[in-house]
Amino acid sequence: MNDNLDFGIKDKVAIVAGGGAVGHEIGNGRAASILLADAGAKVLVADKEELLAKNTFQMIKDRGGEAKYISGDLTKSEECKKVVDFAISNWGRLDILDNNIGIASKLSVVDEKEENWDHVMDVNLKPMFLMSKYAIPEMIRSGDGGSIVNISSISATRPKGLTTYSASKGAVLSLSQAMAVDHGVDGIRVNCILPGPVYTPMVYYPGMTKSHRSQRQDASLVQIEGDGWDIGKAVVYLCSNWARYITGHLLVVDGGCSLSVKPRG
């Protein structure tokens, strides 16, 4: 932790839902987990795959941070409650929740299968609902309010195909702002990050050509490629005291891609 940079996160307890990533790669959830721990938070890394969560946990420990890990299917109510209860049983409080679970689909409504539509909506929305359902009462009980960050996408406001995915991520925007309205009186801030085409394992592990990657980079107005660290830093900011007067905000982190007419792939 950098003691010269006080985010007001030291000794806070954070859950990162979807905090794993393939191997030792840096996805959005893993970056958020590591950076929250760097800022002094005690981090519970939750992921459906235990090994992925354990790898993030170990990366935090190697940097001198405090963390634990847990696996569970966070589309299930009992699993979400288990995660929140685990954080409380270990640290006695809860202050931060980063909802970072999501999958994609590239098909139009004509070509999409009903069962896949249901699956994408289930994965991209239900964990945010359920994790928040169990986290918010504990944040209230802790006495200092709390901060929730939901991860959406610029596809929510500027779709380029990915119809089912775009629809689910659009719902994340509405969910986040409605939660901000509901729970501001409890001292709980709820914000939403809209990543652009950042280079993460979810994107490049299925396969990406050099030309496709170059196209994504060129779509940025500042001509750089975003990555998981960029999203993780935005999470830390929104969870920090520096953002104490920010709630219901939709923070676009995309290098200007959503302002550009250039194709982003």
d(CA 136, CA 132): 6
pLDDT in tens, 3-23: 456 789 999 999 999 999 988
Say how many C-beta atoms besides its own lie within 10 A of residue 105's C-beta.
21
Query: Of the residues 48, 169, 199, 240, which is catalytic?
Result: 169
Contact of 19 with 41, CB cutoff 8 Å:
no
- Whether the pLDDT of residue 147 is over 50: the answer is yes
Residue 85 domain-assigned (yes or no): yes
Contact of 253 with 185, CB cutoff 8 Å:
no
Nearest to 109 by CA among 75, 158, 151, 159: 159
d(CA 22, CA 37): 20
pLDDT in tens, 54-67: 999 999 999 999 99
Residue 223 domain-assigned (yes or no): yes
d(CA 207, CA 16): 26
Find the helix or strand (DSSP H, E) in which 263 lies. Answer: none
Query: Of the residues 134, 165, 166, 220, which is catalytic?
Result: 165
Can 165 be counted among the known catalytic residues?
Answer: yes
Q: What is the CATH number of the domain that holds 147?
A: 3.40.50.720
Q: Which domain covers residue 73, as residue numbers?
A: 13-253
| Strands annotated E in 72-217 | 96-99, 146-151, 188-195
Residue 48 domain-assigned (yes or no): yes
Residue 3 domain-assigned (yes or no): no
**Global model pTM greater than 0.75:** yes
For the chain, what is the domain count?
1
Residue 227 domain-assigned (yes or no): yes
Query: Of the residues 71, 142, 152, 176, which is catalytic?
Result: 152
- Altogether, the residues listed in the chain come to a count of 265
Residue 258 domain-assigned (yes or no): no
Residue 5 domain-assigned (yes or no): no
| Predicted pLDDT at 219 | 79
Can 69 be counted among the known catalytic residues?
Answer: no
Say how many C-beta atoms besides its own lie within 10 A of residue 45's C-beta.
32
Three-class SS of 168-196:
HHHHHHHHHHHHHHHHHHHCEEEEEEEEC
Can 134 be counted among the known catalytic residues?
Answer: no
* pLDDT tier for residue 2 given thresholds of 50, 70 and 90: very low
| Strands annotated E in the chain | 13-17, 42-47, 66-71, 96-99, 146-151, 188-195, 250-253
pLDDT in tens, 71-120: 999 999 999 999 999 999 999 999 999 999 999 888 999 999 999 999 99
Residue 119 domain-assigned (yes or no): yes
